[in-house]
Amino acid sequence: MEIINFTPISSLIGGGLIGLAAALLLVAKGRIAGISGIAGGIIYPESKGDMAWRIAFVAGLILGGLIYQWSNIGVGVEHIQAMASTPTLIVAGLLVGIGTQIGTGCTSGHGICGLARRSPRSLVATLSFMGSALVTVFIVRHLVGG
């Protein structure tokens, strides 16, 4: 296997910023930085006073990626292109959404925030979705031939 576009510095900075954002949200709002829960709260609001920070968080995710792309910080990083068809991506997105509802959280909520808080439930959830990902990649790449 050949590693293409190995970017340890920007990856380290990005990981640090994710951790900082998660810690700041927990300290400032007492909320977990789980993206599925944040986005779900926009679609199905719990209270009106809870909407502004959710929208700001999601907008920051989108703007952060756009700023990174436009600023030429990512020079040498090729344009990312999906290797699957649009229907496949839609089905995959729906399955991820269903999984976050079943697991009551997503990779950011359980894998980053939950593990940092030493939550046993998050450990089980993280092991479950990482195991499922490994099995899926194996099936698609080696059995189906995708």
Query: Of the given ranges (21-25, 108-112, 135-139), which has the lowest mean pLDDT?
Result: 108-112
The pLDDT, as a whole number, for residue 55 is: 93
Question: pLDDT per residue over 85-119, tens digit each?
Answer: 899 889 988 888 888 878 788 888 888 888 888 99
CA 82 to the chain's CA centroid: 16
Q: HSE on the CB side for 143, CA within 13 Å?
A: 6
Instruction: At 24, list the tokens.
Output: 């700041």
Q: Which residue has the tokens 């300290």?
A: 27
Contacts of 35 (CB under 8 A, 6+ apart): 58, 61, 106, 108, 109
Read off the pTM.
Answer: 0.70
What is the C-alpha separation between 142 and 89, in angstroms, rounded? Answer: 20
Say whether pLDDT at 74 is over 70: no
